[in-house]
Structure 1
Amino acid sequence: MDKVYQNTAFRGKTLSGSQLGGGWCQSFPQPGKFRTSVIDHGSIMFGYFSAACLYITVSHVLSLLGQRCGPFWYLHKTEGCCPMCDPGFSVSKNCTRVTATICSPCLAGKTFMNEPNGLSECLTCKSCDSGQGLMIKDKCTVTSDTVCNLHPGYYCVSYSGEGECIFGEKHQKCGPGQHVKTPGTKSANTVCEECPDGFYSTVGKNCTKWTNCAITGEEENEKGSTTKDVTCWRRSRARIGLVFPFVFIFFTLIACTLWWYLQTCRVYSRNPNNTPCPTPIPSVLQKITSESPECVCDFREINCVCRTCTNHDQE
């Protein structure tokens, strides 16, 4: 909705004599009203006063033409001083001799006006380009412009005339073998530095001192660099290859002895009388199986142990 301001400024109105040069100019007697006895002197006096009034009138008009408007007023080239529009508005129609200034509101999110003004259009809202390292901090309103801020991890490389950042770049990352000497800020890039001798860095943040193999009782196997640590190894590890065969043989002998013992116990557990069965010959086995059923041995069994053995020689 348009906003109308009351206008109290001079807008080209017809000026009376009292307004232009002071009322005392009109109070001087008009020609012909002097007494006849002083006509000559009165005419001379009237000429002086007329010239003075003309000078005052011209000076006053010239001062009006070159006047400066007061606070919250703007000067229009034909209508004189007009009242300004409030923040958030712009001039839709200038004031006239009989009407005040008409103001129109700015478009929210697109245009703004942050101070009293006599402008015919609101100002365009600024955009924050993500491709330039910028993001919106405060959105644009009808009374304030957009406020941009740098993305985290960016620094400004270009500023506007008002000192506001308009372009930013990402902080550089230090590589392997380097460390961060000076962290990046919003106005400066990260400063990297090479690791000194005896130190290394794998991710480009901090330099770490090489491992001292002597402290852990080890020896240096491979020298370190700025990107990797020293490699250490123990001398005793080389002796393991010599000890292992002896350990293997020892446990193998134990395993064989245990197996032999278990087999012996198994044989004696099948003969409660602990009487070993003699190994028969085939002819005797045939005779035993046919005439003496007391022995259950078969000639195909080599490690047979009979529960009862018969003395076949006596037969």
Structure 2
Amino acid sequence: MSATPGDVTQVSIFCCVSGDLQDVKFQHRSSRLPVTWCLQLKETSSLSLEMILRRNGWIKAAVLVVLSILRIHSFPCHLTEYKTGNGCCPMCPPGSRVKSDCTEDRSTSCLPCVAGTFMDKPTGQKMCFPCSVCDSGSGLKTKHSCSLASDTVCEPLEGFFCIDSTPGRCSAAQRHSRCEPGDFISKAGTSSSDAECSPCSRGTFSNGSSASCQPHTQCETKNLQLTKEGTSSSDAECGERAAVAPVAAGVGVGLLLLLLALGAAGLYFRNQIKCQHRSTGKQSCAETLNRKEPELPLKECALMVQRSPGAGETEITPFE
């Protein structure tokens, strides 16, 4: 029988010890059942092992020494066992801890984890692990609550992404970057990645909170007048158009009144000139009549001669 892998001491022997040494066995606890480890010694002669042991007492003593050495050296425990001072004991299942180690008479004694603690795998430990807390100050919230067999699972808050993670878990998170006015969100942030920003193109604007840039308002299409140019972070501003027709009408009325005033003034001065001419003619005729000069006929004195200033023609006005 071949030696078990991992044995510290390698001894060659062809068969299990029998005869006088049949009661000399090395006991090893594994999977809660005792297992006999069989030593192998290399046959050095044609005599049987039993005859060698009976004739040579020193060989028996040597075998006993080897067995003692093997008891002193530790053997590796099974994956479902844990090491103790006296050998290997079965582990406690997930959600529990070791109360007391196994003995020759009984197996390992286990207790369930208390509230706020957990054990997520088979264990030989006598204390459970404390449950993790999802701190909102670190940008975290609870995804799955802690149980006896599993720790709390945290995830980022809305608007945050994980910066310290293990498979299926997040230990710390950070708020997504905010785009500046004039930029738009070109890639939305997720629970595992930050947001990305890009500048707006010419003729568009964004306050930094939208996923796209908006075109500037075209005031002309709304029959409005542009009052403020748009920028990459603000829209254009429009206002009512100025009233052109009333102004033009007012100017026309003013010009008409001015022309009427000038015309009235011209008529007034013309009448004044006529009156002066009439007064001069009346005075000459009166003087002629008073003198009764024969060279000025009375009929002619009855008429007043007034010369037109423009055409050079004479205008005859009856004398009153």
Q: Which digits, 9 at most, give the CA deviation of each residue in 1:169-212, with x for residues without a partner?
A: 11133243221122111222212223222111235312112233
SS in 2 for 1:96: coil
Q: Among 176, 182, 201, which residue is 1:177 paired with?
A: 182
In structure 2, what is the Cα distance between the partners aligned to 1:45 and 1:216? 118
Aligned to 2:244, what secondary structure does the other structure show?
helix
Residue 168 (structure 1) aligns with: 173
Change in Cα spacing, 1:200 to 1:240, as seen in structure 2 (3 Å) is farther
TM-score, normalised via structure 2 length: 0.55
Match of 2:104 among 88, 97, 101: 97
The equivalences for 1:209-220 within 5 A come to 209-216=215-222, 220=226
The separation in 1 between residues aligned to 2:112 and 2:214, in whole angstroms, is 63
The letter for the 2-side match of 1:158 is: D
For the pair 1:72 / 2:80, whether they are aligned, the reply is yes
Greater RCO, CA 8 A, separation 6+: 1
What residue is the counterpart of 1:40 in the other structure?
A: none
Alignment partner, residue 31 of structure 1: none
Supply the AA of the counterpart residue of 2:229: K
Query: After superposition, where does 1:136-155 map in structure 2 within 5 Å?
Result: 136-155=142-161
Indicate yes or no: 2:119 matched with 1:113.
yes
Does the 8 Å CA contact 2:182/2:233 hold for their aligned counterparts?
A: yes
- Could you list the per-position Cα deviations for residues 13-40 of structure 1 after superposition, in whole angstroms to 9, with x for gaps in the alignment? xxxxxxxx7224537xxxxxxxxxxxxx
Give the drift of 1:132: 0.4
SS class of match (1:131): helix
SS for the counterpart of 1:71 is coil
**For residues 229 and 191 of structure 1, what CA distance do their matches in structure 2 show?**
23
Count residues with an aligned counterpart: 208
Cα distance in 2 between the residues matched to 1:81 and 1:116? 14
1:47 & 1:243 partners in 2: Cα distance?
145
Q: Which residue of 1 aligns with 2:296?
A: none
Question: Cα distance 1:46–1:154, how it changes in 2: closer, same or farther (>3 A)?
Answer: closer
TM-score when normalising by structure 1 = 0.56
Q: Check whether the contact 2:138–2:173 (CA below 8 A) recurs between aligned residues.
A: yes
- For the pair shown, the structure with the greater C-alpha radius of gyration is 2
Q: In the aligned structure 2, how far is the partner of 1:196 from the partner of 1:144?
A: 51
Aligned-pair identity (%): 29
Deviation at 1:218, TM superposition (A): 5.4
**Equivalent in the alignment of 1:81:** 88
Rounded to whole Å, the distance in 2 between the matches of 1:60 and 1:163 is 50
SS in 2 for 1:239: helix
* Comparing 170-179 and 114-123, the one that deviates more: 170-179
1:22-67 CA-to-partner distances (Å, cap 9, x unmatched) read: 224537xxxxxxxxxxxxxxxx955875444444444444444321
Query: What is the letter of the counterpart of residue 18 of structure 2?
Result: G
Show the counterpart of 2:163. Answer: 157
What is the distance in 2 between the residues matched to 1:82 and 1:23?
29
Alignment of 1:201-216 (within 5 A): 201-202=206-207, 204-205=209-210, 206-216=212-222
Contact residue 177 and residue 204 of structure 1 kept, 8 A: no
Cα root mean square deviation, aligned: 3.3
The structure 2 residue matched to 1:129, chosen from 135, 153, 160, is: 135
CA distance in 1, matches of 2:246, 2:62: 123
**Residue equivalent to 1:198:** 203
Q: How does 1:1-315 map to 2 (within 5 A)?
A: 22-26=17-21, 45=52, 49-64=56-71, 65-77=73-85, 79-108=86-115, 110-159=116-165, 164-202=169-207, 204-205=209-210, 206-216=212-222, 220-232=226-238, 237-240=243-246
- Check whether the contact 1:211–1:230 (CA below 8 A) recurs between aligned residues: yes
8 Å CA contact retained: 2:153, 2:169: no
Instruction: Give the whole-Å Cα distance in 1 for the aligned partners of 2:70 and 2:21.
Output: 21
Whose strand fraction is larger, Structure 1's or Structure 2's?
2
Contact kept? 1:181, 1:191, Cα under 8 Å = yes
Corresponding position of 1:7: none
Shift of 1:221: 3.8
SS in 1 for 2:245: helix
